[in-house]
Amino acid sequence: MADEPVLNGTTKKQRYESLVDALYQDVYRYAYWICKNKPLAEDLVQETFLRAWRSLDSLQNDKAAKAWLFTILRRENARLYERYQPDLVDVEDQPLAEKNIDEPDDAMERELLHSAINQLESEYREPLLLQVVGGFSGKEIADILDLNSNTVMTRLFRARSKLKDYFAADNDNEIVALDEHNEEQNNDG
C-alpha cells in the first residue's frame, strides 16, 4: 500500500473520492481478470464502489481498503452469477489489451502467460491473481478468500509449479517437434 492514505478528507464525500482515486485502477484490473469482459468489469467496479459508498463509515483503516474493495468485488461477482448465467465466451478469443508493447515476442509471451493462468483451476488461479494483480500478501489473500494462511501459501506454490510445468512441457513439445522436423528434412535429403 502506498505511504499516502487513501481515505483523505473530513467529509464522507472527500474520503470516498480519495478512495476511488487511489484504488480504482487496481479494482478494475482485478474485475477484468475475474470476468474477462470489459463492460461487465466496468459494471462490477461501479457496483463495488456504490456498495463501498453505502458502507464507507465501516472502513476505518487505510491498509484494509484495497482488500475490503476486492472482497466487495468478489461478492458482487458471485451475486451476478446467482442472478443469471451469461453467454459463455471462449477465453482464448478474448485478447487482453496491452499498452506500449514494443516487441511481438513480448506480446506472445504475455498472451501465453494469460492463457496458462486462465487454465489453472479456480482454487489456484484466484489466490495467484490476488497476489500478482492485486499485490496482496498471503495473509491478506487468506482473509479475502476466508482460508487458512497455510492453505493460501500451498495454493500459491502449486499455482506457480503448475505454470512452470505448463511452460516446461510446452518447451519440451517445441523441441520434440523441431527434432522431428529436422529428422524429416535429413531423411528427405
pLDDT, tens digit only, all 189 positions of the chain? 444 557 777 888 888 999 899 999 999 999 999 888 899 999 999 999 999 999 988 887 888 899 999 999 999 988 877 765 556 666 566 665 555 555 666 777 778 888 888 888 989 988 988 888 888 888 999 998 989 989 999 999 999 998 888 888 766 655 555 556 556 655 555
User: Do both 39 and 73 map to the same domain?
Assistant: yes
User: Do both 113 and 185 map to the same domain?
Assistant: yes
Which amino acid is present at 102? D
Domain boundary among 37, 56, 87: 87
pTM comes to 0.59
- Residue 143 domain flag: yes
91: exposed, middle or buried (Cβ count in 10 Å: 0-12, 13-18, 19+):
exposed
Enclosing H/E stretch for 66: helix 65-83
User: Do both 109 and 189 map to the same domain?
Assistant: yes
User: Do both 83 and 128 map to the same domain?
Assistant: no
Among candidate residues 72, 71, 56, 68, the one with its CA nearest the CA of residue 18? 56
Residue 184's domain comprises 102-189
Residue 38, Cα to own-chain centre: how many angstroms? Answer: 13
